[in-house]
């Protein structure tokens, strides 16, 4: 089963998917606009990749508490789960965008090119963190 990871921002949504075994996350694309405006693109991704689970990055404060951004992401996740036959889970996304920026800069990606793809790299970081934590739980 493939897993989709989403990094929902104010203006863009980073999308990543896992391999069929659900072990490795790969950046896929960046969608413009709120999730509710991207239903056609989301439908195509679900059909093309046979997504079985969606992981949404949950923006927690450094203290671990949820704020208005987290509430917005939860509302988007509930709307997605109501619209598509898929389970939605949430995973801590603290510092994922900063980590994505750092990885891309170290790889030599210019700041101009990073602007357009940092969201999908952040989605892959969130998804990989979720996949790794799920694998650890299964190993116990």
More confident residue, 92 or 16: 16
Tokens encoding 76: 């988007």
pLDDT score of 103 more than 90:
no
Question: Does 83 map to a domain?
Answer: yes
Confidence of residue 30 (pLDDT cuts 50, 70, 90): very high
Q: What is the CATH number of the domain that holds 33?
A: 3.30.420.140
Q: In b/e form, how buried is each residue of 72-96, taking b as 16+ CB within 10 angstroms?
A: ebeebbeebeeeeeeebebbebeeb
Domain count within the chain: 1
To the question of pTM greater than 0.75 for the whole model, the response is yes
Residue with tokens 């619209």: 83
Query: Which residue range forms the structural domain that includes residue 127?
Result: 2-134
Please tell me the predicted confidence (pLDDT) of residue 11. Answer: 87
Distance CA 5, CA 3 (A): 7
pLDDT score of 53 more than 60:
yes
Question: Does 29 map to a domain?
Answer: yes
pLDDT score of 140 more than 60:
no
């Amino acid at each position: 089963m493939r897993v989709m990871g989403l990094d929902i921002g104010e203006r863009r949504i980073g999308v990543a998917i896992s391999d069929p075994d659900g072990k490795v996350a790969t950046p896929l694309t960046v969608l413009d606009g709120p999730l509710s405006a991207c239903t056609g693109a989301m439908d195509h991704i679900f059909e093309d990749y046979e997504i079985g689970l969606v992981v949404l990055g949950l923006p927690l404060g450094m203290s671990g508490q949820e704020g208005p951004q987290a509430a917005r992401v939860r509302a988007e996740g509930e709307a997605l789960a109501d619209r598509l036959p898929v389970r939605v889970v949430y995973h801590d996304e603290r510092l994922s965008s900063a980590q994505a920026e750092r990885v891309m800069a170290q790889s030599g990606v210019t700041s101009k090119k990073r602007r357009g793809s940092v969201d999908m790299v952040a989605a892959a970081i969130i998804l990989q963190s979720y996949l790794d934590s799920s694998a650890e739980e299964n190993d116990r």
